[in-house]
Structure 1
Amino acid sequence: MAHQWRFFRSGGFDQVRLDKIEDWQHLHELDPKLWAALSCPVKGLEFDERTLSYLDSDADGKVRIDEVRSAVRWALSVLKHPAVLLSGDELPLSAIDDGTEQGRKLLASAQRMLTNLGKAEASALTVADTADMASIFPPDQLNGDGVITAALSSSEPLTQLITAIHSCGWQVQDRSGMAGIDQPLLDQFVAAGQAYRGWLDAADAVSAVAGEQTAELYQLVQALDAKVADFFTRCQLAAYDANATEPLNAALADYAALSRQLLNADSADASHLPLARISAEALLPLTAGVHPHWADKLARLAALAKPVWKTAKEINASKWQQLKDTLKPYADWKAAEPQSPVASLDALVLRACLEETVLAEATALIAQDLARQSEAESVLEVDKLIRYQRYLRDLLHNFVNLQSFYSLKQPAIFQNGRLYIDGRSCDLCIEVHDAGKHAKVAGLSGAYLLYMDCSRKGSAEKKSIVAAMTAGDAGNLMVGRNGVYYDAKGQDWDATVSRIVENPISIREAFFTPYRRIGRMISDQIQKFAASKDKEIETKSAAGVGDAAKVAETAAKPAAPFDVAKFAGIFAAIGLALGALGTALATVFSSFLGLSWWQMPLALAGIALMISGPAMLLAWFKLRERNLAPLLDANGWALNTNAKLSIPFGTRLTALAQLPAGSSRSMADPYENKSHIGLYLTLLVLACLAGWAWQAGLFARWLG
């Protein structure tokens, strides 16, 4: 018979139950269309990283349905008591199926691990037991990964070889966590080392000029070449025209400037002068009569170049070129130097590392380590089984269904912490890498989103999160607002709003939105009117000060007679306006007072509904469509359904500030702004009614 699946309704869609081991055993039969997710990233989740690496069998950075199925199938196949996968934090050794070859290997590896940990009498393994890989794979023991460390070496030459390779910047990590080398790295070092050693060996053939001091002679020629070329070029110009001799030597002004300084052979202000006195003979002295800054280098050059120049005290351009030609083989050899990290090694150390016996020892040790591969992989499979027992059910409740998210018993693996801001806390916080790119997709969720830039004091680490506001209102939320973010480890971060995606937050907010807009519009208009009047008064005052004489002259003229008719007309117009407004208000009030007592609240509710109804209806529709999928899809997930964020559920994800139960509260606030708007509105209504009464002739009837 086919397995009878059980489903529960949450988030607006049917989710499969996985609380029986039979459900796990038939998980491979469940239609992928009924899975909550098709894939999820291995980064950015609050989940054990090593477990994710085991699940991601193809190492593509994603966990997919087939990989989850394979993990469940393998875990079930090696356990004779598979129910241990449903609960608990430890793997009893008795649950491992020792009736199969694979199970017996796992059990033997598990017992050996407990012995290495000093817990030979223990009957169960936990995640904590295998957290430190060095405790599972000690650095001084072969572990089957083909990587050898200095701790495994039994001879000084092999230790020197491993250390030399590391000093070149080449290393791979051993399963113990230590740095080591493997066969490809050893081959790379040998190839580079032999090439460099061959280059070093060729030095003997190009060092005939000065033997071991050829390198020093070459460096001197390189350092002096530009200055010597300058000297001989100046001499050629002096031979071309005798008038150029004096200008090409140092000017008197140069020496006058130097005479005011405390000089030495290395004075920078004198280094620009020629090597020696410029003359048509073009002979460069090597000892006497040379620039002090270059004297030592020239003297050393003369000593090293004796095989070429003999005991010459001065040289011409031909002899300088002769020396350069003699050194050309060395220059060519120097230019051919291999650019390799092995060049940083001492030549004797390099030769010792490339000895055949040392390389053979390293190769043999790597082979011995690889021979333990099967045994080591069995140990790794024990670690995998321990982690599957502890974490696999959490993954299923965030992948096959979203039970963890909707149950609110514990955060889902995609919830990265909690944000406190503006008198509320938000639990739907997701870490993002590119807020702009994320917002383009996440905005389709219909949720009000805050993108926060987070940083920690004393740390260069930064991160960005998106928080979904699902309760309250957006009154005080704005870019630049600060809050505090607590990550899943409990670490606090300074958080600043960098971007907002606006959507409705609640029906309550939608009800007051029209009134807030009207109030904001009236406030803006009043401020604009006050600002314009203030500007007008300022302009008139400035003009009045400038025209004081004209004002005085005008004041001397007799004032125009008071126009009673005009004043009466203005008063009549005001009365008509007040009367019209009063008539309208009186009509409304008389109609309202003509209603029965039970009709009055219905009329007020109808007016409020007429004003706020459209906004509330629009918000209701949008809040019903609010869902989780775009938020996760923008972060690399492939969610398989529209996981709704309903209004009741939203109030659980975002908690508003509330006074503790049983608290006392005083409403007296000595610094509260005292508003007299009620009095002003009452006076306005009375004035309007008075105008209406006057217009209707009620005053004349009452007084007559």
Structure 2
Amino acid sequence: MSTSTSAHQWRFFRSGGFDQVAITTAADLQHLALLDPKLWTVLNCPTTGLEFDDKTLAIMDQDGDGQIRVPEILAAVRFSCERLTNADVMFAAPGLPLSSIAEHDSVGAGIKEAARQVLAYSGKDADQLIQVADLQDSTRLFSADHFNGDGVIMPELTTDPVLQQLMVDIISTQGGVADRSGGVGVNQDTLTQFWQQAEHVAAWHTAFTESEGQLCPLAGETAEAVAIFESVNAKINDYFVRCQLAAFDARAVDSLNPVAGLYDALANRVVAGADQDIADLPLSAIAADKPLSLTTGVNPAWAEKIAQFSAKVLTPLLGKTCTELTYSDWQQVSTQLAAWRNWMAQKPDSALHTLGLTRIQEILASDGQLALQALITADLAASTFADNLAALEQLVRYQRDLVTLLRNFVSFSDFYQGETKAIFQAGTLYLDQRSCELVLQVADLARHATMAPFSGCYLVYCTCVRQGEAPINIVAALTAGDVDELMVSGRNGIFYDRKGRDWRASVTKVVAQPVSIRQAFWSPYRRMAAFIEAQVQKFAASRDKEIEAKTTSGVADSVAAPAAAPSNFDIAKFAGIFAAFGMAIGALGTALAAIVAGLFTLFWWQIPLVFIGVMLAISTPSMLMAFLTLRRRNLGPLLDANGWAMNTRAKINLPFGAALTGLAHLPAGAKRSLHDPYAEKKSRWPLVLVVIAIVVVGVVLLQQLGATPG
């Protein structure tokens, strides 16, 4: 690669008020690292909120910070150029030919070999293209019946039924480990754990065999006897400890036996022997060094278990039938069962007990551990294919997506040339007979709303909902048409995303900005008309309330009090009012006459110029402000507010703005009927007012002509 920019002739196109580099050839890619970053349109962009493949962005985002920066772009371009025999394939249709993969080093050879295997697994010929979809089905690429490099082996990997059954046993007792093929299998950790547990379980069973005489004082009945012993152990110990305390101090007897008040809770309800309140009482009445009677005076809740204990444990171990249990007999029985209880306490906590001792001994006597370890080692040795497959997927994705990203990063050719939408354009918003193409997703509404107004665009924020999907927030720029008093919160529209799905869009916020010079020209008159309308409505509402209040109070007064004597008419007062009205009308008439007289002193062709001048004087400030706003209208703040680092202003002038917002037009050749059966009837008053105005103008003109000398 050349080390000077003069070795490559760049081509630029001007759009959006700045020069943008055209990336159309392999040489452009190969020399991209030499292009001054100041000429790049963007310096970084987020990996979310874009109409772009998320996994491709994740592969490109080497540090995983959620941003794609210039070095990461250059790294992706360098990787693509190094691994292709001809970088022109980057500009071809999606799909990577096998012949285009360079194999000048071991890495390239490995990628190409992985590509051959992918074609074979996909049932494709060597001359067919490798697509991203061919690399998505892990069950086909990493089949269970061949090594895939993840260190997990499955029963399908071997034809030996003994090893297959061993793997089934390991999975059933240790749990399966996820394999790249999509199934579950055995890895080194689960194999080691299984073997260790098998040895512990076998050793535990061996200890039983070696000491069976000591462990089983009741032979085959020992397990049942221990279970019965365990069920009463704590309660009998509690009884003897209480009796020992009573012997230690006679004053403790009353406290160690239940107080009489405890039985009050049982007085007014049906009592059952299994009640917990009864079971919590001592096993028998407490007295100093008193043996436990096994037949009388036993707590009813424990009587059945004590009888079981006497028949199944005491009588066989002591060799006699007992009616009472002394503390020494209790210690003797406990000692005889201690060995079994200690052995059970050492029982390994393992699911291997379900396999049975015979199966465990069979496994330990086999060479299954070594055989499975050999399979795991062989599978790990095949990890090269998995690594090469990851590199192949990276290359195939770059071939499909990288140039698109460059045309939305190094330049904005996709946005300005209009052949395809830019990756930041989320879709199309239809609202009030217009379509908005400049629509962006918004993740942080508060941050976006603080920066976006600097774009100079008329912005409409919407919340979009669709059944089965999480709501999304968008902002649309209205760049053409008439939008005076158009958008208010709560209005609804339809948003179509890039997948063609429709969302119900509700306007949540509007940032008003001028849209055109024509709109700015008429804006003062519209505001004046709106002001007059508001004042008339306010005056009419106040008069209506005043009349209603007077009417209500007058009726109330007439009911509450006798009619008052009529007041005398004050002619002087009303004469003054009429005089004031007359003076006001006279002043207005004089002013109107002066204006009309002044107009008729002009030549006829000067009169329209006067009207045009007056209108321009009124509209020029509004038009000037609109011109300045439209002149600075640009895309930069909209993207900066979404986490982009824009390197230029990216202007949106009037012609381009008109292309971004479509207005409703009748189709070419459509027939239109102007007859409206519900049109409002025409009033005669406008004609009457025009006639009156002509008469007034004529009278004034005659007066002026009569006053002219000679």
CA spacing shift, 1:370–1:536, aligned 2, 3 Å: same
CA distance in 2, matches of 1:511, 1:336: 94
CA displacement at 1:296 relative to structure 2: 7.5
Q: Which amino acid aligns with 1:567?
A: F
Q: Answer yes or no: is 1:466 the counterpart of 2:480.
A: no
Query: Quick one: structure 1 residues 610 and 117, their matched pair in 2 at CA, closer, same or farther if it must change by over 3 Å?
Result: same
The answer to whether 1:382 aligns with 2:392 is yes
Instruction: Sort the Cα spacing of 1:645 and 1:596 in 2 relative to 1 into closer, same or farther, 3 A.
Output: same
In structure 2, give the amino acid aligned to 1:377. Answer: D
Correspondence for 1:405: 415
Q: Does 1:484 align with 2:500?
A: no
Q: Deviations over 1:630-667 (max 9, x none)?
A: 32233332222222222322221221222212222334
Is it true that 1:586 corresponds to 2:593 in the alignment? yes
Query: Is residue 533 of structure 2 the alignment partner of residue 523 of structure 1?
Result: yes
Kindly provide the CA deviation profile for residues 445-500 of structure 1, in whole angstroms up to 9, marking residues without a partner as x.
3333333222222x153322222222231533222222222221112222222333
Q: Letter of the 1:529 partner, please give it.
A: F
State how far apart, in whole Å, the 2-side matches of 1:662 and 1:568 are: 68
Q: Identify if the C-alpha distance between structure 1 residues 252 and 364 changes in structure 2 by more than 3 Å, giving closer, same or farther.
A: closer
Q: What TM-score comes out, normalization by structure 1 length?
A: 0.76
Distance, in Å, in 2 between the alignment partners of 1:666 and 1:386 is: 57
Q: Decide which of 242, 251, 254 is 2:268's aligned counterpart.
A: 254
Q: In the alignment, is residue 639 of structure 1 matched against residue 646 of structure 2?
A: yes
Instruction: Determine the structure 1 residue equivalent to 2:3.
Output: none
Structure 2 CA distance for partners of 1:251 and 1:348, relative to 1, 3 Å: closer
What's the CA shift for 1:214?
A: 6.9
Equivalent in the alignment of 1:87? 92
CA deviation after TM superposition for structure 1 residue 383, in Å: 3.1
Question: Are 1:544 and 2:520 matched, yes or no?
Answer: no
Instruction: Quote the sequence identity (%).
Output: 41
Whole-angstrom distance in 2 between the partners of 1:583 and 1:613: 29
Q: Following the alignment from structure 1 to structure 2, what is the Cα–Cα distance between the partners of residues 344 and 474?
A: 76
**Match for residue 445 of structure 1?**
455
Aligned position for 1:620: 627
Match of 1:122 in 2: 127
DSSP-derived class of the 1:249 partner: helix
**3-state SS of 2:668 partner:** coil
Residue 496 of structure 1 aligns to a residue whose secondary structure is strand
- Match in the other structure for 1:157: 166
* 8 Å CA contact retained: 1:510, 1:612: yes
Query: Distance between the aligned counterparts of 1:363 and 1:546, measured in 2?
Result: 106
Go from structure 1 to structure 2 and tell me whether the alpha carbon gap of 1:443 and 1:144 turns closer, same or farther (over 3 Å shift): farther
CA contact (8 A) 2:460 2:510 kept: yes
Taking a change above 3 Å as real, the CA distance of residues 245 and 23 of structure 1, as seen in their structure-2 partners, is closer
Q: Distance in 2 between matches of 1:25 and 1:673?
A: 69
User: Is 1:423 aligned to 2:433, yes or no?
Assistant: yes
Q: How far 1:394 moved relative to its partner?
A: 0.9
Task: Provide the rounded CA distance (Å) in 1 between the counterparts of 2:436 and 2:228.
Answer: 71
Structure 1 pair 583–85 and aligned structure 2 pair: CA distance change class (3 A): same
String of CA shifts for 1:560-616, please: whole Å, max 9, x gaps: 343444333322221211121222233333334444444333333333333333233
Partner SS for 2:658: helix
Please tell me whether the aligned partners of residues 582 and 691 of structure 1 are also in contact (alpha carbons under 8 angstroms): no
Contact 1:37 1:638 in 2 (8 A): yes
Report the 3-state secondary structure (helix = DSSP H, G, I; strand = E; otherwise coil) of the residue aligned with 1:80.
Answer: coil
1:81/1:691 Cα in 2 relative to 1: closer, same or farther (>3 Å)? closer
Structure possessing the higher radius of gyration over alpha carbons: 2
> Which residue matches 2:115?
110
**Which amino acid counterpart does residue 110 of structure 1 have in structure 2?**
A
Whole-angstrom CA distance in 2 between matches of 1:291 and 1:659: 98
Residue in 2 that maps onto 1:367: 377
Instruction: Report how far residue 519 of structure 1 moved.
Output: 3.3
Give the 3 Å change call, closer, same or farther, for CA 594–186 of structure 1 in structure 2: farther
Instruction: Classify 1:151/1:514 alpha carbon distance in 2 versus 1 (closer, same or farther; 3 Å).
Output: farther
Structure 1 unaligned regions, length at least 5: 230-235
Q: 1:54 aligns with which of 52, 59, 68?
A: 59
- Rounded Cα–Cα distance in structure 2 between residues aligned with 1:213 and 1:460: 62
Counterparts of 2:608 and 2:236, CA distance in 1: 104
In 1, Cα distance between equivalents of 2:323 and 2:552: 92
Query: Is 2:524 the partner of 1:514?
Result: yes
Give me the whole-angstrom Cα distance separating, in 2, the residues matched to 1:653 and 1:681. 43
CA deviation vs aligned residue, 1:104-132 (integer Å, no higher than 9, x gap): 44444333322222223534333343343
Q: Secondary structure at the match of 2:477?
A: strand
Q: Deviations over 1:336-380 (max 9, x none)?
A: 999xxxx89675479999988766655544432331232333333
Runs (5+) with no aligned partner, structure 2 = 1-5, 242-250
Moved more, 9-18 or 494-503: 494-503
Deviation per CA, 1:656-685, whole angstroms, max 9, x where unpaired?
222212222334444456686x94797599
Cross-structure match for 1:392 = 402
Shift of 1:74: 2.6
Q: Separation in 1 of the partners of 2:435 and 2:639?
A: 20
Contact 2:284/2:297, CA 8 A, preserved across alignment: no
Residue correspondences, number = 668
**2:636–2:646: 8 Å Cα contact kept in structure 1?**
yes
For the residues of structure 2 that align with 1:593 and 1:215, how far apart are their CA atoms?
124
Structure 1 residue 220 displacement after superposition: 8.7
**Is 1:663 aligned to 2:670, yes or no?**
yes
Alpha carbons 1:11, 1:406 under 8 Å: kept: yes
- Determine the C-alpha separation between the residues in 2 that align with 1:250 and 1:619: 92
CA contact (8 A) 1:97 1:103 kept: yes
1:3 aligns with one of 3, 8, 12: 8
Residues 665/389 of structure 1: CA separation in 2 closer, same or farther (3 Å cut): same
1:129-140 equivalences under 5 Å are 129-140=134-145
The amino acid of 2:95's aligned partner reads: E
Contact 1:245 1:278 in 2 (8 A): no
Aligned with 1:577: secondary structure? helix
Per-residue deviation at 1:409?
Answer: 0.8
Q: CA deviation at 1:295?
A: 8.1
Structure 1 contact 276–285 (Cα < 8 Å) conserved:
no
Task: Verify the 8 A CA contact 1:40 1:636 in the aligned structure 2.
Answer: yes
Deviations 1:304-362 (A, max 9, x none): 9969x999999999x99x999x9999999999999xxxx89675479999988766655
1:567 and 2:581 matched: no
**Deviation by residue 1:256-301 (Cα, 9 ceiling, x = unmatched):** xx6xxxx9889xxx87678679998699999999999998788889
C-alpha change, 1:300 and 1:157, in structure 2 (3 Å) is farther
Whether 1:78 and 2:83 are equivalent positions in the alignment is yes
SS at match of 2:421: coil
Matches within 5 A, 1:2-41: 2-41=7-46
